[in-house]
Amino acid sequence: MEGLMAIVIGVLFAAGLFLMLRRSLLRLILGVALMSHAVNMLIFVMGGLRRGGIPVGAEEELSGATDPLVQALILTAIVISFGVTALFLVVAYRAHQEHGTDDLDEMRELKG
C-alpha cells in the first residue's frame, strides 16, 4: 500500500511541476494546487497506513493504533493551501486584468 501511495505522490508531484513550468498563469496555479495535494498525501502516508487501528484510547487498547497527529497536520495544511490558492487566484485575476495577458513571459514590467 505504501509503495502504491509513493507512486501516486510522485506522479502528483511530477504533474504539478510540469504544469508549473508552462507559461500560462492558470496552469501555474493548478500546478501549485496539485503539488500541495501531493504533499498532503505525503503527510498522510508518513503517519503509516494501517487498517482498523483506533487513534485515541486507553493505553492497553493502543497496540497497532493509527497516528492521529498526521490527520491534524493534514487538516492544517489543507486549510492553509486552500486559503493561499484562493488568494493566488485573485492576484492572478488582477494581474491578468492589468497586463491583458496570462502569459508569464509577457509580464516583463520588472525587467530593466
User: What is the contact mask toward other proteins in residues 48 to 87, using x (rule: CB under 8 A)?
Assistant: ---------------------xx--x--xx--xx-xx--x
* CA separation for the pair 28, 107 (Å, rounded): 14
Q: Is 98 in the site for other proteins (CB under 8 A)?
A: yes
Amino acid at 91: V
In sequence order, the β-bridge partners of residue 24 are 103
Taking only Cα atoms into account, the Rg of the chain, rounded to an integer number of angstroms, comes to 19
In the complex with other proteins, the residue whose CB is nearer, 54 or 94, is 94
Interacting residue with other proteins among 4, 88, 103, 105 (CB under 8 A): 88
> In whole angstroms, how far apart are CA 84 and each of 8, 74, 104?
24, 15, 19
Q: Residue 69 has which C-alpha cell?
A: 497527529
Residues near other proteins (CB under 8 A): 20, 25, 28, 32, 35-36, 38-39, 42-43, 45-47, 69-70, 73, 76-77, 80-81, 83-84, 87-88, 91-92, 94-95, 98-99, 104, 107-110
